[in-house]
Amino acid sequence: MLFKDSKILSSDITSKAIFENRRQLIKQAAAGAYGLALAPWFSRTAFANSPGLGKLKVMKSDKYSSKEEITPQKDATSYNNYYEFGLNKDEPVERAQRLQTKPWTLTVEGLVKKPMTFDMDALLKLAPLEERIYRLRCVEGWSMVIPWDGYSLSKLIEKVEPLGSAKFVEFITLADPKQMPGLNNRVLEWPYREGLRMDEAMNPLTLLSLGMYGEVLPKQNGAPVRIIVPWKYGFKSGKSIVKIRFTEQQPATSWNMAAAREYGFYSNVNPTVDHPRWSQATERRIGSGNLFSPKIKTEMFNGYGEYVANLYTGMDLRKNY
């Protein structure tokens, strides 16, 4: 698919931006697709790991938490994919500080018995906050291990009582050109949209996240409320959500609309299915202490198969990628 008002293929934009800004680094790395990932180590900004965001009262959750080494907070909050604030990984941490997160409302509508609008106080009181240490695997080949603070999305879903005809859940994020300079880039059709099948949304792993590292979400990480779906690639976890809609038909999702050959609706972490431009069999962990950390093998469903593999019994995961 072509970008709006452009003759550039959607599958080419990310590569173009990365090569323009990191050409020399890629030459030195000679690492193909992995060369796109790690340059912002050289350009940390004063916004990284900003203090005073606000502490959250959370309970530690061992049931779903990874036992791996946690990514340093300064890395997780300064190396971000958030195209509404720029195409490069080091742009959101600086540009997102203009985002106004108070007041904020989240509207839940569609095929539900009880449509509701929640403010942040209501979301914080809806269920006890848990801290779950989840892996986050991005399609470009890098990953992090982050303590996310929130509760299962199912808690909110149960509150609004979906109708039997509701088969999918659509997530719509904020798109405000006054606050988000990246909207001027016609990389995607805005607002950003994502979706899950109902059983995926109800899985206890799917997290409505209101914080990380025991603090409220930083703006560059999707404040004030986002979704975390740990067995799927990171772009499935919508940031700064303003609307959740229950539908009977599978919703259109942003990256699938832009480049269906590269980004399927399901987007489960699957090391046996290559991205058209690079392998998905390995990854590099951000925050390992050096620029080009060793490759590690990527696990099926990002290591969460125990909890989610049954959702896809009988499905062809190459066709339903």
- Whether 153 and 198 have beta carbons less than 8 Å apart is answered as no
* Mean of pLDDT over the chain: 86
DSSP 13: H
Q: Does 264 have pLDDT greater than 80?
A: yes
Strand runs (DSSP E) across 87-141, as ranges? 105-110, 116-119, 130-137
Q: State the architecture of 10-312 in CATH terms.
A: Alpha-Beta Complex (3.90)
DSSP string, 234-278: GGGS--SEEEEEEESSPPP-HHHHH-TTT--SS-B--TTS-BTTB
Query: pLDDT digit string (tens) for 298-317?
Result: 999 999 999 999 999 999 99
**Interval 87-116: pLDDT, tens:** 999 999 999 999 999 999 999 999 999 999
Structure tokens given for 98 = 């203009």
| Angle value at C-alpha 201, between 196 and 204, nearest 5 degrees | 150
pLDDT (tens digit, 9 = 90+) per residue, 132-160? 999 999 999 999 999 999 999 999 999 99
Cβ burial, residue 137 (10 Å; 0-12/13-18/19+): buried
With tokens 């099948």, the residue in question is: 197
- Record the pTM: 0.85
Report domain extents, the chain: 10-312
Dump pLDDT digits (tens) for 201-258.
999 999 999 999 999 999 999 999 999 999 999 999 999 999 999 999 999 999 999 9
Contact present, 111 and 101 (Cβ < 8 Å): no
